[in-house]
Amino acid sequence: MTGEPSSEAPDLAPPALAPPAGGQDASDPVSAGPAPGSPSDGPTDRVNILLVDDQPANLIALEAMLHGLDQHLVKASSGREALKWLLAHEFAVILLDVKMPDMDGFETATLIRQRDKSRHTPIIFLTAADKTDTQAVRGYAVGAVDYLVKPVVPEFVRSKVVVFVELAKKNELLRRQAELLRTSEQEARDLADTRAELVRDLEHKNRELESFSYAVSHDLRAPLRRIESFSRAVQDSQAERLDADGRRYLDRVREASQQMSQLIDDVLYLARVTRAEMRDQEVDLSGLVTLWLERMREAERAREVEVKVRPGVMVAADGQLLRIAVENLLENAWKFTARTPAARIEFGQSNAGGEPAYFIRDNGVGFDMAYADRLFGPFQRLHLASEFPGTGIGLATVQRIIHRHGGRVWAEGMLGQGATFHFTIGRTRA
Ligand SMILES: Nc1ncnc2c1ncn2[C@@H]1O[C@H](COP(=O)(O)OP(=O)(O)O)[C@@H](O)[C@H]1O
Ligand SMILES: [Mg+2]
C-alpha cells in the first residue's frame, strides 16, 4: 500500500485546477470563485499553501489550524501528489510531513528543490516525536526553512505560516510592480519610436515640399523671364509698328508676368517663414513700430498720417519674425488709409481674457466683417488690385508667424470706418 491513488501516473502530468485525485472534498458547484482546495493562479489576494501528509487525519488537523488564515489550502497525501501540484502552481509555503511511505519528506524536498519553479518555495518539515538532531540537519540541508515536531502547537504553526503568506504576497506585489514598470517603460519606448518615425516622416515631407518649391520657382521663373524679355524686345524693336492697342496689350503682358513673378516670390517667402528657426528674444515692439512709421513718413512726405504709438511695449518673441509680422500689418494700415483725408494709425496694448494683446488700428477703407476670417488665407484680398496693389500674402504670413509663437491674430473692421488687427504672442516674458 503506497497511500497513492492507483490512477496516478508516476511521471506526473500537471494537474488541472481541480484536485488531482482522492482526499479532496467535492467542491460546491454553487459557490463562486475557486473551489476550496484548488490553488489560485490568478491575481487574487489569496495565496496557495500546500499541506503534505500521508495520514488523512493529520491533513484535516492542519487544515483546521490554518483555516482561519483564509488562504487556499491544498492537500496532498503523498510526495508524488505534492510534486504534481508543484508542477503547475505557485505556493507560498509547503508543510511537509517527513515520515511518509514510498517517498519520504526529505526525498520529496530534494525533488522540489531540483525544479526551477519550486526551487525557492519555503518548506516547513513536520515530523513525529522520533526527531533527532541529525534529521533536523538533513532537513535544513535539503532546503527546509523550518522544522516542527508533532504534535504541533496550532498557534505556532499559524504564526510561522503567516510569515510566509505575507512574504509571498509582498513578492507577488513586487513582481507585479516590476512588470508594470517594464510595461510602462516599453510603452514609453514605443511612443518615442512612433514619435521619431512621425518626425522622420514629417522631415521627409518637408524636404520634398522644399524641393518642390525650388522646382516650382526655378521652372516657372525661366519661362517667365523669357516672356518678360521677349515682350520687352518686341516693345523695344517693334514699337513703331504697333498701334496704341498693340502697345497697351504688350504692357498688360509685361504687367501680368511681373505679377506672377511676385506671386512666386511670395509663395517661397511664406514657406521660408514657416520653416525658419525660432529664437527667444526680448523684442521692443514700440521701437519697431515707431521706426517703421518714421521711415514710411520719410519716404512718402506727401502723405499726412497721424500716428500714435504706445511706448515701452516689450515682448518675448523671435525678433526677426515678429518684425516681419508687424511690418505687414503696418504696411496694410498705411496702404488702406491712402485715400483717407485725415489718416490715423495707432499701435497699442489691450487685454484678451487676461492675456496681453496688441493691436494696430487705422481709420482707412476698412472691410466687411463677414469676410474677417478669409483675410488670413493666402492670396485672399477684399480690395481691387487696381485700387490697392498687393498679392494677398501679407496676412497669411502674419498668421503663420503669430501661430508659430503660440499666439492668436484676429481682425475687426467696418466698411469705410477702418480696421483693427489684434494679436497675442503666447509666450510672454514674466
Ligand atoms: N488695414 C486694413 N484695412 C482694410 N482691409 C485690410 C487691411 N489689412 C488687410 N486688409 C484686407 O485683407 C486683404 C489681405 O491682406 P494682405 O494679406 O496683407 O494682402 P495685400 O496687402 O497684399 O492685399 C487685403 O487685400 C485687404 O482686403
Ligand atoms: Mg499686405
pLDDT in tens, 221-257: 888 889 999 999 998 999 889 999 999 999 999 988 9
Q: How confident is the model at residue 369 (pLDDT cuts 50, 70, 90)?
A: very high
Q: What is the pLDDT of residue 128?
A: 74
Rounded average pLDDT over 120-132: 80
* Ligand 1 atom closest to the CA of 366, numbered from 1: 4
Rounded average pLDDT over 381-389: 84
- Separation of first and last alpha carbons in the chain: 89
Indicate if the pLDDT at residue 27 is higher than 70: no
CB within 8 A of 13, min separation 6: which ones? Answer: 84
Mutate to test the pocket of ligand 1, among 270, 332, 373 (most ligand atoms within 8 A of CB): 332
Please tell me the distance from the alpha carbon of residue 390 to that of residue 393, in angstroms, as a whole number. Answer: 8
Q: Cα separations (Å) of 63 from 40, 165, 166, 379?
A: 17, 15, 18, 87
Nearest ligand to the C-alpha of residue 390?
1
CB within 8 A of 262, min separation 6: which ones? Answer: 391
Indicate if the pLDDT at residue 403 is higher than 80: yes
Residue 335 Cα, ligand 2 centroid: separation in angstroms?
A: 8
pLDDT in tens, 267-319: 777 777 777 788 889 999 999 999 999 999 989 999 999 999 999 999 999 99
Q: Is the dihedral of CA 200, 206, 208, 210 positive or negative?
A: negative
* Ligand 1 atom closest to the CA of 380, numbered from 1: 14
Question: 25 - beta bridge partners?
Answer: none
**CB distance 235 to 199 below 8 Å:** no
Q: What is the pLDDT of residue 17?
A: 44
Nearest CA to ligand 1 atom 1: 333
* Ligand 1 atom closest to the CA of 362, numbered from 1: 1
Q: What angle do CA 392, 398, 399 make, to 5 degrees?
A: 100
Output the average pLDDT for the chain: 84
Of all residues in the chain, what percent carry a pLDDT higher than 90?
A: 54
Indicate if the pLDDT at residue 181 is higher than 90: yes
Mutate to test the pocket of ligand 1, among 346, 360, 395 (most ligand atoms within 8 A of CB): 395
Q: Cα separations (Å) of 223 from 210, 211, 258, 425?
A: 21, 19, 12, 41
What residue has cell string 504709438?
309
Q: What are the strands, taking DSSP E only, across 114-240?
A: 123-127, 144-149
Q: What is the pLDDT of residue 37?
A: 53
pTM of the model: 0.53
